[in-house]
């Protein structure tokens, strides 16, 4: 009887491996549903008329009405906050510290191996507040290169040298890899490949970015304006934890997205999951589709055509009237969940801080960009002309007039500059067509 059961099992396994001669695909693959990233909202795919919904008042001629279609994606419900960006800064700081200390790290004394929920932290973070750390000569001496030199210290305060907080990351240049000459090189025989002087490694790009925000932006962006308290306190003080991070360049925002991708994917893999699409800056078309909130031809995220509600209250944080900055309830920036969200549930898509997009700025981009997921990219080098370093910003800010709050208004800033009125939020392309496919 036992032999008969074994024989039957072998027959069943053999028939399954043969698949009965039919094309049935690989069997045994688990059903998969995309996890919603914390703090992000699902933005459905859609088509809309991108561009001016009303008269081009300044006659800028940088945008025209064009029907485009956008794939489904996730978007941060709010702008990235100081406290969220600080997590990135602390990660870089701790990584550098561990590399410097090497074998001298006393894990029991100096590392946080679990968080407040008793969950394991991998890699562990440095416990900068360990009491015995300051009395441990070896640890103190090992970490000394991370601090300002004695001659640079103010009131002899021992502070981390923010110039040392550099983040190294890599990315694949798919645009370059997709060019015909690149594909011919990769498809050539090994003996012929030398003729093209390229291989797959030539598409792996490397960047090193200092990731600490430019806190002096509050001063250098304005002449004859007293903003020293913002420079001293805005990024680090708990009072501003839920305010949008500013003083972050396009390159720093891009580096943050790369780090966030690694953070999230590592968490998924460690839990037995599968990685998802990268976090990144939104394209212009994605940003405008999200800002419109599904409303057709709306000049503002809340509809239009007015910037006040029926009670006369302003609906965003900007520069009202002739400069009455407090009339809208703000002054500089405000908390990222201020005012009412649009119909997609997104806060401050107009005003508060302008937001970086992934796209390079060209006045005629609408004429040559595709109507399917429009995207115009240019990877500007440090020695490129300044005009090639322009990146699109959207949404207007606390210091801008109402025109810049319109969903269709596009302007730019240079990728290697940081301003006290520009922040960002991340997006992630949805894996699939729409959420209804998973029902």
pLDDT in tens, 208-253: 999 999 999 999 999 999 999 999 999 999 999 999 999 999 999 9
Mean pLDDT of the chain, nearest integer: 84
Supply angle C-alpha 203, 383, 361, rounded to 5: 75
Of residues 308 and 422, more confidence is placed in: 422
Which of the residue ranges 96-110, 168-182, 328-342 has the most confident prediction, judged by mean pLDDT?
Answer: 328-342
What's the pLDDT at 438? 66
Fold of 47-76+213-439: 3.90.1580
Q: What is the pLDDT of residues 15-67, one digit of tens each?
A: 555 557 889 888 888 888 888 999 999 999 999 999 887 777 777 778 888 99
Residues 210/216/218/221 CA torsion (nearest 10 deg): -90
Residue 13 CB: number of other CB atoms within 10 A? 10
Is the alpha carbon torsion for 141, 146, 151, 155 positive or negative? Answer: negative
Each domain of the chain, given as residue ranges in start order, spans 47-76+213-439
Beta bridge partners of 78: none
3-state secondary structure of 316: coil
What's the pLDDT at 323? 84
Of residues 395 and 135, more confidence is placed in: 395
- Burial code (b: 16+ CB inside 10 Å, e: under 16) for 96-119 equals bbbeebeeebeeeebbbeeeeeee
Question: For the residues 80-103, what does the mean pLDDT come to?
Answer: 86
């Amino acid at each position: 009887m036992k032999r008969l059961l074994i024989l039957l099992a072998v027959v069943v396994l053999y028939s399954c491996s043969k698949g009965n001669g039919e094309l049935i695909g690989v069997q045994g693959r688990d059903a998969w549903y995309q996890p919603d990233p914390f703090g992000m909202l699902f933005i459905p795919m859609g088509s809309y008329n991108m561009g001016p919904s009303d008269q081009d008042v300044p006659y800028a001629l940088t945008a025209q009405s064009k029907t485009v279609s956008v794939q489904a994606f996730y978007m941060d419900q709010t702008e990235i906050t100081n406290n969220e960006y600080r997590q990135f800064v602390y990660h870089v700081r701790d990584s550098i510290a561990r590399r410097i200390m090497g074998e001298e790290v006393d894990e029991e004394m100096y590392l946080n191996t679990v968080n407040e929920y008793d969950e394991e932290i991998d890699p562990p973070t440095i416990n900068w507040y360990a009491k015995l750390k300051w009395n441990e000569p070896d640890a103190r001496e090992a970490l000394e290169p991370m601090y300002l030199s004695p001659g640079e210290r103010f009131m002899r305060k021992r502070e981390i040298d923010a110039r040392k907080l550099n983040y190294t990351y890599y990315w694949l240049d798919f645009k370059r890899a997709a060019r015909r000459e690149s594909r011919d090189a990769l498809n050539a025989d090994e003996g012929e490949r030398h003729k093209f002087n390229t291989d797959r490694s030539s598409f792996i790009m490397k960047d090193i970015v200092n990731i600490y925000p430019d806190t002096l932006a509050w001063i250098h962006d304005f002449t004859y304006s007293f903003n020293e308290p913002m420079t001293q306190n805005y990024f680090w003080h708990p009072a501003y934890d839920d305010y949008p991070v500013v003083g972050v360049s396009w390159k720093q925002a891009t580096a943050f997205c790369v780090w966030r991708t690694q953070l999230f994917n590592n968490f998924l893999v460690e839990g037995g999951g599968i990685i998802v699409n990268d976090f990144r800056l939104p394209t212009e078309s994605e940003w405008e589709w999200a800002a419109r909130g599904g409303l057709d031809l709306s000049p503002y995220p809340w509809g239009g055509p007015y910037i006040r509600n029926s009670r006369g209250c302003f609906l965003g944080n900007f520069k009202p009237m002739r400069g009455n900055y407090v009339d809208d309830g703000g002054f500089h920036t405000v908390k990222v969940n201020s005012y009412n969200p649009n119909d997609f549930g997104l806060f401050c898509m107009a005003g508060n801080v302008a937001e970086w997009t992934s796209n390079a700025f060209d006045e005629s981009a609408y004429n040559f960009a595709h109507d399917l997921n429009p995207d115009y990219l240019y990877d500007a080098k440090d020695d490129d002309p300044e005009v090639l370093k322009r990146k699109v910003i959207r949404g207007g800010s606390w210091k801008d007039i109402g025109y810049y709050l319109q969903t269709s208004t596009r302007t730019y800033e240079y990728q290697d500059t940081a301003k006290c009125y520009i922040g960002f939020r991340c997006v992630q392309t949805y894996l699939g067509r729409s959420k209804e496919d998973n029902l």
